[in-house]
Amino acid sequence: MMAKKESFDLIVVGSGPGGYVAAVRAAQLGLKVVCIEKESRVGGVCLNIGCIPSKALLDSSEYFLLAKDHFATHGIKTGRLNLDLPVLMARKEQVVRELTENVVNLLKRNKVKLIHGIARLKGEGRVAVLKNSGAGKTKHQTLEGKAVLLATGSSPVPLTGFEFDGKYIVSSTEALSFQSVPRHLVIVGGGYIGLELGSVWLRLGAKVTVLEMLPKIATTLDGQVSRALKRVLKKQGMEIRLQTKVSAIRTSARRVQVILSTDGKEEKLNCDRVLVAVGRKPLTHGLDLEAVGVETDPKTGHVRVNESYQTSIGNIYAIGDLIPGPMLAHKASAEGTAAAECIAGLPGEVNYDAIPSVVYTWPEVATVGLTEEEVKERAIPYCTGSYPFSGAGRARCMGETEGFVKLIAHAKTDRVLGVHIIGSRAADMIAEAVLAIEFGASSEDIARTVHGHPTFAEALQEAARTVNNCSIYV
Ligand code: FAD
Ligand code: NAD
């Protein structure tokens, strides 16, 4: 069949939080835009098998835990609790469906053409799309664009020698949709996914064992916060083994055996499933980057870009999980906006010093800026201030006193360098700290800003006050 050609100002490959945001921003700036997505639903990993379904499960499982263990302290009697896992999963599906439909409407409203198909680079401004035309048949289409933006995201890294089998050795995708609560879930990797999905299944009744090869969990966190998180998760019943390596996984009918070693001592663990969550890698498969001359980092697989998100081929751009930096949805979206602005001839940029990250465990962990280990390593003179949630009135009212706020400020200028929070509502509280860093605020600025009372945010104000030793509550 003859290939059909169509021309655009911008061809966006991938409709995740990087791609769809870039497409909309570019269209708002007057460009004629097409977005290509290989899956039947838009929204990428984030909306379909990442941020959104995991948070829906975290929220449902938190309600279950609250009803089981905490309502009674508020004088609310519930009687015997039952878990209806199919309903919980159906609700998660509905949240995902609604949000992905919103993205389709957003693209339509902004006149972005959406094409479902697998994209492959054919040249500097040409993209081939392989479309499913029904009844097992496929159709090719070639698109021409003044610019191409790659936003194809990432995929889970398997454990060397023990590939995912979708049943016993699974990735986060399957762990978001288990049809029954595992009796014993072993998780390899104590990072974001391991701790969040481990929390979900622990709350719903599974025994959960996390195996982490390094000496701390959530390795990028400030050490003090990481230790506090480990303590509280252990208290909740999560078994966490640090400096532990997996040497083999044996699967037989319905049973899985994990052979692991801690400090050279070998041990066997029997379980029902193993969730491998040891990181994700850029997804470039099938794009034909090499043929076109788009350079990647041979070690990490990331696409190399300059500060305007241009790859080694001038009119091909890349953003999101595909390029270096934290693999986070809001980072991908910020880059999508900036790249679209650069492509439209505007000065788009992202402040990488002010990107928050959140681990949605209970309590939540939220952080922005430098950790104490990082300021020490860079020999920056610094002061810290911290404040426990047990001192915040609102936290007491809610019985959510676990955790603290830690603020790191420059010793000479008092400029805020980092804020690290472990506690209920940390995910929302961090926004104030992000703004402080974005605006170059000092800890005194936060200390002198009037905060509503009683709120969790008062703990941040108090932490800032302790930097200047003027807290009235210590
Ligand atoms: P993606 O979202 O991966 O989108 C890429 C899109 O490109 C996909 O739809 C894919 O189908 C499409 N595509 C790929 N190749 C082609 C091709 N050749 N042709 C056409 N289309 C193609 N981040 C957070 O900030 N907060 C969270 O709470 C959070 N939770 C997460 C939970 C889990 C379980 C996981 C796995 C990830 C989570 N993340 C979270 C990370 C977040 O999902 C990613 O950082 C984000 O989705 C990256 O966005 P992206 O646009 O770069 O890529
Ligand atoms: P991660 O990088 O967060 O954690 C992986 C962990 O596995 C690390 O602690 C690492 O030391 C450990 N590890 C690596 N190899 C190992 C091995 N052989 N044995 C034992 N441990 C090993 O990766 P992830 O949890 O897979 O998540 C992938 C990415 O997705 C994250 O980096 C994050 O960017 C994103 N994500 C974000 C959120 C969020 O923002 N709340 C949630 C989920 C995922």
Distances (CA, A) of 54 to 96, 172, 233, 420, 427: 10, 9, 18, 22, 15
CA-to-CA distance for 265 and 244, rounded, in angstroms? 9
Ligand 2 atom at shortest distance from the alpha carbon of 217: 9
Read off the tokens for 296.
């990647």
What's the CA-to-centroid distance between 151 and ligand 1, angstroms?
9
CA-to-CA distance for 35 and 14, rounded, in angstroms? 7
Which of 346, 354, 303 has its CA nearest to residue 324? Answer: 303
Ligand nearest to the CA of 50: 1
Q: What is the pLDDT of residues 182-201, one digit of tens each?
A: 999 999 999 999 999 999 99
CA-to-CA distance for 291 and 454, rounded, in angstroms? 60
Kindly state if the Cβ of 213 falls inside 6 Å of ligand 2: yes
What's the CA-to-centroid distance between 17 and ligand 1, angstroms?
7
In our burial notation (b when 16+ CB lie closer than 10 A, e otherwise), range 23-39 reads bbbbbebebbbbbbbbb
| Residue/partner pairs of 5-9 with CB below 8 Å, 24 or more apart | 5/142, 5/143, 5/144, 6/34, 6/141, 6/142, 6/143, 6/144, 7/32, 7/143, 7/144, 7/145, 8/32, 8/33, 8/34, 8/113, 8/143, 8/144, 8/145, 8/146, 9/33, 9/145, 9/146, 9/147
Which of 248, 233, 222, 242 has its CA nearest to residue 382? Answer: 222
Q: How many CB atoms lie within 10 A of CB 278?
A: 21
When pLDDT is averaged across residues 102-126 and rounded to a whole number, the result is: 96
Kindly state if the Cβ of 14 falls inside 6 Å of ligand 1: yes
When pLDDT is averaged across residues 366-373 and rounded to a whole number, the result is: 98
- Which pLDDT band holds residue 25 (cuts at 50, 70, 90)? very high
In our burial notation (b when 16+ CB lie closer than 10 A, e otherwise), range 367-395 reads bbbbbbebbeeeeeebbbbbbbbebbebb
Kindly state if the Cβ of 327 falls inside 6 Å of ligand 1: yes
By alpha-carbon position, which residue is closest to atom 38 of ligand 2? 192
Q: What is the pLDDT of residue 135?
A: 80
Q: Where are the alpha helices (DSSP H) in 366-425?
A: 372-377, 393-398
What's the CA-to-centroid distance between 191 and ligand 2, angstroms?
4
- Predicted confidence (pLDDT) at residue 379 exceeds the cutoff of 80: yes
- Which pLDDT band holds residue 473 (cuts at 50, 70, 90)? low
CA-to-CA distance for 324 and 321, rounded, in angstroms? 7
Half-sphere exposure of 314 (CA within 13 A, CB side): 1
Kindly state if the Cβ of 17 falls inside 6 Å of ligand 1: yes
Q: Give the DSSP H/E element, type plus range, for residue 408.
A: strand 404-410
Half-sphere exposure of 303 (CA within 13 A, CB side): 32
Kindly state if the Cβ of 102 falls inside 6 Å of ligand 2: no
Strands 382-388 and 364-369: unpaired
Task: Fill in the amino acid letter for 127.
Answer: V
Where is pLDDT greater, at 79 or 294?
294
Ligand nearest to the CA of 365: 2
Contact 25, 336 (CB under 8 A): yes
| Longest CA–CA separation in the chain, Å | 77
What is the SS3 assignment for 112? coil
- Predicted confidence (pLDDT) at residue 4 exceeds the cutoff of 70: no
What's the CA-to-centroid distance between 278 and ligand 2, angstroms?
5
Read off the tokens for 168.
């016993």
CA-to-CA distance for 408 and 253, rounded, in angstroms? 52
- Which pLDDT band holds residue 95 (cuts at 50, 70, 90)? very high
- Predicted confidence (pLDDT) at residue 2 exceeds the cutoff of 70: no
When pLDDT is averaged across residues 39-43 and rounded to a whole number, the result is: 97
Which of 139, 123, 151 has its CA nearest to residue 33? Answer: 151
When pLDDT is averaged across residues 208-229 and rounded to a whole number, the result is: 98
What DSSP line would sit under 129-151, residue for residue? EEEEEETTEEEEEEEEEEEEEE-
Question: Nearest 5°: phi and psi at 240?
Answer: -125, 120
Task: Report all structural domains of the chain as residue ranges with CATH numbers, in order of start.
Answer: 4-155+281-350 (3.50.50.60), 158-278 (3.50.50.60), 354-469 (3.30.390.30)
Which of 146, 136, 106, 86 has its CA nearest to residue 23? Answer: 106
Q: What is the pLDDT of residue 134?
A: 82
Tell me the pLDDT of the chain averaged across its residues: 96
Q: Where are the alpha helices (DSSP H) in 385-425?
A: 393-398
Contact 315, 124 (CB under 8 A): yes
Q: What is the pLDDT of residue 468?
A: 74
Q: How many CB atoms lie within 10 A of CB 213?
A: 17
Annotated active-site residue 302? The verdict is no
